[in-house]
Amino acid sequence: MNAIITPSTPSEPCLDGNGLTIGIVVARYNWDITGALLQLAQEELKLLNVAEENIHIVYVPGAFELATAAQAMLCNGTYDALICFGCVMRGETRHDVVVSDAAAQGIQHVALNTHVPVIFGVMCAQNQLQAQARIPRGRECARAAIELANTIKSLNKTKV
């Protein structure tokens, strides 16, 4: 029986996307934010050796619909990881809380039930300025998708 050895300090993540297929689900609502997140993620994925033809994008109306599309994408077993991009901003009612909580729980549910990394790229902000400040998360989400896809592949090869 092989054991997974945990070093005392974390190792550098494997950020080589060569051979990986990454799906991205993007909400059209607040497109000025989600479109910018998508653009940065695509740029970062290509920089990390994910072939352009291995980046598949699906658009949905808003953040609430992200999990439904993510689940549908993962039904065919094509993807090594998914990224979900949305933007929910505070309004006059509690609608933002309901939508952001549902999106987070739905995305987590998809990841746990499919055993495929699904990266939470939903920006929850008080206003437009806060949302714009979070646009660089597009690159971070791309890196997280590659790192976690490689980690899961490695774990699946290791007998515990």
Asked if the model's pLDDT at residue 68 lies above 80, the reply is yes
Asked if the model's pLDDT at residue 26 lies above 90, the reply is yes
Domain ranges of the chain: 39-61+69-77+86-144
Asked if the model's pLDDT at residue 42 lies above 70, the reply is yes
∠ Cα 12 138 81 (to 5°): 65
pLDDT digits (tens, 9 = 90+) for 82-103: 999 999 988 787 887 888 889 9
Whole-number pLDDT of residue 159: 53
CATH architecture of 39-61+69-77+86-144: 3-Layer(aba) Sandwich (3.40)
Asked if the model's pLDDT at residue 1 lies above 60, the reply is no
Asked if the model's pLDDT at residue 37 lies above 70, the reply is yes
Whole-number pLDDT of residue 150: 95
Residue 123 burial (C-beta neighbours within 10 Å; 0-12, 13-18, 19+):
buried
Whole-number pLDDT of residue 123: 95
Whole-number pLDDT of residue 148: 96
Active-site residue, selected from the candidate residues 56, 95, 109, 115: 95
The reply to whether 56 belongs to the active site is no
